[in-house]
Structure 1
């Protein structure tokens, strides 16, 4: 599995976004950063139970991530047409207006090392990637346990301080300042 310090694979991947039109081959070049951080989070499969709670949770914080120069990117091993149908079927998912990678080839999930060996779907993995496309944080949950998007935001805040941040640190609190010997 790729981890902190590794580069995000430079792949161009199919994406789906919005509900106004059927997918028409839209792609996202993961090598491009536009000087922004990336929050890439995978869920196992569309039309399931835990996954929409996470997608809506991240979507609710989209503006907070944007305020920190970070873009949200969701992903699963479903096709862009399945993503579109799921968004059309649920207004909460339709409102989660950020690109969803359609990794049905599983190229990105395999490159990241997050493919469940028996189920053939991605684990619930979250990657925080800096503007140089270097992974700065990774969390991976099993298939049955959802994540806390607010924790991803908290970790992004800590990473962006470029300081020593203690346990449970939140934005606005003091960072640690070692005393010089």
Structure 2
């Protein structure tokens, strides 16, 4: 990544997703007017990926309570997502959209394409209702992500959006004290 995508708008895309037993159209327009997570993973029928997607599925209700839609994306086709959903007990519990990106347009838009492999990095993007990226997390392929930590980051992003004169310190959890940046705080923390 040569430049940061933080606070940039999601680039246009349209794709097909497997969602609740059907193939549905999804586009960048679906990422507007609500909070969204775009969760890239390398490939279906692999090893770390189902543990991450299962963890998201286990916490999906909590994301939904926060008004957040989750979109899983890999460079597999939507047909492959359906086959994996049918074949794996872990993936079968997923009720969020699984977007197929076989051309790599979405993966490249978010700058997480591993060109030599045609696969996505483990990239996580939290997008605000204006379609702007507020959180980016990219892990090496052998390091899985945590839905609990992602929930904390979403809550922090939502809090600072609703309270623009405050910031969330390290390890901030919902209900804990925040900071109001001011000259008085310089050198006192």
Contact residue 44 and residue 123 of structure 1 kept, 8 A: yes
Decide which moves more: 31-40 or 81-90.
31-40
**Cα distance change of structure 1 residues 179 and 4 upon mapping to structure 2, 3 Å threshold:** closer
Higher helix share: 2
4-13 or 126-135, which deviates more = 4-13
Q: Classify the secondary structure of the residue corresponding to 2:120.
A: coil
Secondary structure, aligned partner of 1:61: helix
Helix, strand or coil at the partner of 1:31: helix
Q: TM-score under structure 1 normalisation?
A: 0.92
Helix, strand or coil: the match of 2:37?
A: strand
Aligned to 1:138: 136
Cα deviation digits, residues 9-42 of structure 1 (max 9, x gap): 12111111134x6x4xx21122234521001101
User: Contact 1:18 / 1:94 at 8 angstroms: preserved in 2?
Assistant: no
State the 4+ residue runs in structure 1 displaced beyond 3 angstroms.
178-181
Structure 2, unpaired ranges of 5+: 161-165, 185-189
Task: State the structure with bigger RCO (CA 8 A, min sep 6), 1 or 2.
Answer: 1
Q: Quote the Cα distance in structure 1 between the aligned partners of 2:120 and 2:66.
A: 27
Among 168, 172, 175, which residue is 2:171 paired with?
Answer: 168
Q: Partner of 2:9 in structure 1?
A: 7
Q: Is the 1:73–1:99 Cα contact (8 Å) retained in structure 2?
A: yes
Aligned partner of 1:77 in structure 2 is: 75
Pair 175,87 (structure 1): closer, same or farther in 2 beyond 3 Å = same
Instruction: Map 1:1-181 to 2 at 5 A.
Output: 1=1, 3-19=5-21, 23=23, 26-33=24-31, 35-162=33-160, 163-178=166-181, 181=184
- TM-score normalised according to structure 2 size: 0.88
Deviation, 1:118, is: 2.1
Task: Please give the root-mean-square deviation of Cα atoms over the aligned residues, in Å.
Answer: 1.5
1:94, distance to aligned residue in structure 2 (A) = 1.3
For 2:37 and 2:31, the matched residues in 1 are separated by 12
- 1:155-178 residue CA offsets vs partner (Å, 9 max, x unmatched): 111111113111111111111134
The answer (yes or no) to whether the contact 1:56–1:93 under 8 Å persists in 2 is yes
**Alpha-carbon spacing, 1:171–1:125, altered in 2? closer, same or farther (3 Å):** same
Structure 1 partner of 2:163: none
* 1:113 partner SS: coil
Give the superposition deviation at 1:117: 2.7
